[in-house]
Amino acid sequence: MIEQVLSWVGLFVAGAGLGAFFYGGLWWTVKKLPQVRHPAVWMLASFAARTVVTVTGLFWLMAEDWRRLLVAVAGFVTARVIGMAMAKKKPEEG
């Protein structure tokens, strides 16, 4: 029982890690846009790389069980929600 719970928690954390990679990579890509020579190519290449890594990771975590995928995707979405909340915070003036 405890092993199964730890497995689900691990899947959730791994999904959150994939979400942090995907959305952190998106944030980084957008921040670099003013500095690159071909922004459309930069965005397309970034999207392709982030998508390949994320989908491959989710398929690997899934291990042919849709419930595992559901838990990993829940972690992925949670990372997005946390990232959005962090982006909305105003920097403290010091």
Within a domain: 54: yes
Residue closest to 18 by CA, chosen among 62, 91, 6, 2: 62
The DSSP annotation for 11-64 comes to HHHHHHHHHHHHHHHHHHHHHHGGG-S-HHHHHHHHHHHHHHHHHHHHHHHHTT
Within a domain: 94: no
Look up the domain containing 43 and give its range: 2-86
Within a domain: 52: yes
Query: Tens of pLDDT along 48-78?
Result: 999 999 999 999 999 999 999 999 999 999 9
Within a domain: 22: yes
Query: Tens of pLDDT along 6-41?
Result: 999 999 999 999 999 999 999 999 999 999 999 999
Q: Cα-flanking dihedrals φ and ψ of residue 23, to 5°?
A: -80, -30
Residues with Cβ < 8 Å from 76, sequence gap 6 or more?
Answer: 15, 16, 18, 19, 22, 54, 58
